[in-house]
A and B are shown apart, each in its own frame.
Chain A
Amino acid sequence: MRSWKVVLILLALAAVSVVFLSGIIGKPFEPAQPIAFDHWQHTSKQGEDTPKLECTDCHENADKSRFATIPNVSKCMICHETMKTESPEIQKLAAYSSRSEQPPWKRVYWIEKEADVFFTHKPHIRAGVDCTTCHGQVNQMHRVKRDVDHSMGWCIQCHRENRVSVDCSICHR
């Protein structure tokens, strides 16, 4: 009688963990951000007074440097000083701005330090690589998720297809 109970409990635990794990595995990394910034709304939303921004309008260093960079809050406030000030998310933004602080944005894509990879945005933009090639359809996302797996094989494949150098020292140094 007792052993039956143990078996039942174990089975129940296994079932719960399978359900739980299947929810995590295979789901892209999608961290909650300090402010619910919506990329779709800023780039793709159809309507009369929607901004329809380009990626480099805000990530303005992508074509100039190693990093695309997240814009300073002051950049957001150029428009949001007057626009949609009634929204609670914009009020959060304004609060950061008034304290001259930056929201602690969560990184979605990064390269592990151990990889010794020196990726640079600039030459990729110069070569005309679309942002969505590496970052997925961010312009359709409400909350950014990691849609593309940045493994070395994936980098090499694109370099080969486009007849770019695959010399190790292009990235590793």
Chain B
Amino acid sequence: MEEKVESKKPQWAMVIDLDRCTGCEACVVACHAENNIRIAGEGPAAGGRSVNWIRVERYYEGEYPDIRVKFMPVMCQHCEEAPCEPVCPVYATYHTDEGLNGQVYNRCVGTRYCANNCPYTVRFFNFLDPVWPEPLSKSLNPEVSVRYRGVMEKCTFCIQRIRKGEDKAKDEGREIRDGDVNPACVQSCTARAMTFGNIADPTSEVARLSKSGRASRLMEELGTKPRVTYLSRGD
């Protein structure tokens, strides 16, 4: 085991207020643009091979016309006790000291055990090499690698933005603070339903919100200790 290099690392976490989510899917679009997520096409998508690091789940309550729709954005929960990690035979998925569930594409040999073991079904396998129709291939984000055939991929909490935020904080010689790092989904959320930050810092917005009485975690009973907290609807 590696000894811990720095003692005080930020611990990244997210809070999603379901009372605010309108289900507009701006987060999904932003995520696709930011993270070079391939476009599956109609046929493969129908066959369950589309890739969406974040998706918006819909729940219907009641009968028409007295119907209510509830939305719930679901991405990798970055579990502290992640079920995907111990099953990887090559340590391609591992836990970083910042509490992220990392995915190393070079190491991945494509056993797909991790996706099988994930209760949230947020891991996606590249069955084919990605293809972008022109001119979309020119809009790829240079800060993110383009995944190739045979590797698993999933939400990284926009690791490239985390690194950029940490770099900026180090330049200014200070600790990381709220607003330094915002993943693409959080930045694009029109209703400001999502909050991202360092949960180890008690003064941060995520630390405050995650202690709310409305807070719960997805499938908490499995003991995965997710890093994403949902604030339930107040109805």
**A residues adjacent to B (C-beta < 8 A):** 114-116, 118, 120, 122-123, 126, 163-170, 172-173
Contacts and interface: CB of A to CB of B under 8 A. Distances in A.
Contacts of B163: 169-170, 173
Given A118-B143, A123-B167, A173-B144, A166 B160 contact: no
Contacts of A114: 106
A172 B94 CA distance: 13
A106 B104 CA distance: 31
Given A115-B106, A118-B143, A118-B160, A169 B100 contact: yes
A93 B52 CA distance: 51
Interface string B102-146: 101111000000000000000000000000000000000001110
Contact of B106 (A116, A118, A163, A165): A116
Contact of B5 (A122, A123, A165): A165
A166 B96 CA distance: 10
23 contacts: A114-B106, A116-B105, A118-B143, A118-B145, A120-B167, A123-B167, A126-B171, A164-B5, A165-B97, A167-B96, A168-B94, A168-B104, A169-B96, A169-B100, A169-B102, A169-B159, A170-B163, A172-B104, A172-B105, A172-B145, A173-B143, A173-B145, A173-B156
Contacts of B100: 169
Contact of B160 (A115, A164, A173): A173
B68 interface: no
Contacts of A164: 5
B170 A123 contact: yes
Q: Which 7 A-B pairs rank lowest in CB-CB distance, beginning with the nearest?
A: A116-B145, A173-B159, A168-B104, A169-B102, A167-B96, A165-B5, A169-B159
B2 interface: yes
A122 B102 contact: no
B18 to A, nearest CB: 29
Contacts of B6: 165
Interface in B216-232: none
A95 to B, nearest CB: 32
Interface in B1-55: 2, 5-6
Interface string B146-164: 0000000000100110010
Contacts of A173: 143-145, 156, 159-160, 163
Given A168-B94, A168-B102, A169-B102, 15 more contacts: A115-B106, A116-B106, A118-B143, A120-B167, A126-B170, A163-B5, A166-B5, A168-B104, A169-B96, A169-B156, A169-B159, A173-B143, A173-B144, A173-B145, A173-B159
